[in-house]
Homo-oligomer: A and B are copies of this chain.
Amino acid sequence: MVDTASRPTGAQGATASTTPAKGSRPGPKVDVEALGRQLLGTWADIRLASRERAAMPELQRIEGQSMEEHRERVLAQLQILVDMGAISRAYPKELGGEDDHGGNIAQFEELVIADPSLQIKAGVQWGLFGAAVLHLGTEKHHKKWLPDIMSLKLPGAFAMTETGHGSDVAAIGTTATYDEETQEFVIDTPFRGAWKDYLGNAALHGQAATVFAQLITKGVNHGVHCFFVPIRTANGNFKKGVGGEDDGLKGGLNGIDNGRLHFTGVRIPRENLLNRYGDVAPDGTYSSPIASPGRRFFTMLGTLVQGRVSLDGASTAASAMALTIAITYATQRRQFNAASETDEEVLLDYQRHQRRLLPKLATTYAQTFAHDEFLQKFDAVFSGKADTDADRQDLETVAAALKPLSTWHALETLQEAREATGGAGFLAENRIVGLRQDLDIYVTFEGDNNVLLQLVAKRLLTDYSKKFAKADAGALARMVIAQTAEKAYHGSGLRRLGQSVSDFGSTGRSVKELRDPEMQRELLTDRVETMIAGIAGRLRNTNKMSPAAAAAAFNRNQDELIEAARAHGELLQWEAFTRGLAETKDAGTKQVLTWLRDLFGLGLIEKHAAWYLINGRLSAQRAQSVTAYINRLLERLRPYSLDLVDAFGYSPEHLRAKISSGAEQERQDEARAYYAEQRANGTAPIDEKTLVKKAKKK
């Protein structure tokens, strides 16, 4: 390998102590403890209790275990959680639970600290399998199965996804046909693509499964419903008619026994239909409290939104851990000595290193605030405090907007942390690679991220068209014309030219406007609205088209639709950060958090600068000053970087990464002391380069 700096002449390192970071200077102080409490959010005590458990070695991953060992360990860990009374919070009080839905999620998502396999296997057992019985079943089902599910006497799989259908659940192939004669449902897998697949607990540990299938009675398909199906005998063999396969080794989460299931004429009693939203009488008559098959389907699936909520939280936690590791290391590690004969630079003093890590820190803060609001909304719906149809739809839209952003962010952050810690980051002992492998699947399970963002976009389009629903028939057309006029206004650069004139020679004025939160909000909001209005305009005639032509028109806008949905999610995060900031009491902390929020907001504007320029929302000069101001913010935030990661509150037992343990600081101190001593006592060899220079001077 070739390096970019020349070796220091002679010995290195003046003192063994750390020189203050270059960016340090008198300025605001961060109240790390108070900030930490704020970041813990609404369910702080529950999170802290869960983190205490996550610090227990017996609940943590052992790197390097074989898949078989890891699977058995995680199963045993579930039992430890049961024994500690740490799993029943979401279940009904009469069964020993606490009816606490928000607290339950807060508690579970912290388990990602111990081992993502533990988080997800617990999620399969109690958040999917158990939750299906709880939310889709009725009292008889609760009494019959929930106690054993809660105690882990009855481990189960959540059999929704099929090899052939993932995100498109409505199209699954498994059938449950009612047999009036025996008053049973007959579960069948009609073809290979309809095998249930990727199910946790299916390969080994599951004794039953909540199986989603097309409910057919009296020759009518009433759509997807959920059935409780025993799959294994007490000795662990498949029951008659049930078969399956192990999914084998995966890219991560190997503590979970994912597998496949298929059914051939498997008979279950009529009562095993989880019948909260649809029932079949002994004579085969179907009934449902929800008349519309479409609404019924979405209502059933909507009860299972908690998976997305917890992935948003766990991804944010993993990002915070990765940044704690990488930023701690970056404040200790030194490399290259451009500025000094003796001292190498601390990594985080390099602009590029700041650029790589600090914007991700800002996003992680935004997500932390957004997640707490999201969880409050979830709790309000599931506790019944605010659970109208509109509330539920809003919750699902928020889930569909935030889960993609935070799960992708976790992968990007873990990867940047890996690269920013070099070869050390590639070692399992430093945690980052393991977390990244485990979290990889978060971006496509519980709803593929791209599919979820399309859901958001469709909701935005629906809301947009509703605005005009009550107006007369020509309203939409007039709106489109108005849009075009607006585009002509922005597009011709009139607003932009105004900016150029007012900015001319005054970067200061430009920056002052950019850090105005109202300006940031306007830019972010305007982008979502304009994109949606533009797409709505282009799709306005699709209702007059054939389904194929309408689908083609939609498809031609698909990429931009997804971008609009992403912009909407970013706006939600920015707004949550801004509201969180308003709650921050300590002045110094508030100042630093304001810089961080500005870094987040302006980072989004910089990322989408082309859009703002094309649409005349930013002048060229203004766009350039966004980048310049971001660089200034990075310098300002540099001295507070450690405070900002410390506030996440992870202890060494949580991080378990050797490179963030202080070992690097010890190594740096030792090396610097060695060279300093050589210089002090004159034992340092002379550098040949020094001799060459002297010779030239003669």
Contact = CB atoms under 8 A, between A and B. Distances in A.
A235 B685 CA distance: 38
A519 interface: no
A170 B671 contact: no
A6 to B, nearest CB: 6
Interface stretch (A372-380, A383-391, A608-616): A608-616
Contact of A555 (B293, B350, B396, B548): B350
Contacts of A685: 214, 216, 219-221
Contacts of A291: 692
A534 to B, nearest CB: 11
Contact of A447 (B2, B350, B425, B555): B2
Contact of A667 (B8, B191, B670): B191
Given A250-B427, A667-B193, A447 B613 contact: no
A84 interface: no
A426 B1 contact: no
Interface stretch (A323-331, A414-422, A467-475, A588-596): A414-422
A426 B451 contact: no
A234 interface: no
A291 to B, nearest CB: 8
Contacts of A356: 450
A166 interface: yes
Interface string A292-305: 11100010011011
Contacts of A344: 168, 171
B220 A168 contact: no
B450 A352 contact: yes
A266 B615 CA distance: 68
Contact of A4 (B6, B216, B350, B455): B455
A446 B423 CA distance: 11
Interface in A553-592: 554-559, 562
A447 to B, nearest CB: 5
B192 A670 contact: yes
A423 B447 contact: no
A448 B352 CA distance: 13
B170 A7 contact: yes
A167 B559 contact: no
B251 A5 contact: no
A460 to B, nearest CB: 13
Interface of A: 1-8, 10, 12, 22, 63-64, 66-67, 160-161, 163-171, 173, 190-194, 197-198, 214, 216, 219-224, 247-252, 286, 291-294, 298, 301-302, 304-305, 307, 335-341, 344-345, 349-352, 355-356, 396, 400, 411, 415, 418-419, 422-429, 432-434, 436-437, 440-441, 443-451, 454-455, 458, 491, 493, 547-548, 550-552, 554-559, 562, 606, 609-610, 613-616, 620-621, 623-624, 631, 666-668, 670-671, 674, 685-689, 691-692
Given A1-B447, A292-B692, 11 more contacts: A2-B298, A2-B396, A223-B689, A247-B427, A250-B426, A251-B428, A338-B555, A351-B559, A411-B415, A426-B441, A559-B631
11 contacts: A64-B248, A164-B668, A168-B335, A173-B674, A223-B689, A292-B692, A293-B689, A349-B555, A351-B559, A606-B610, A613-B620
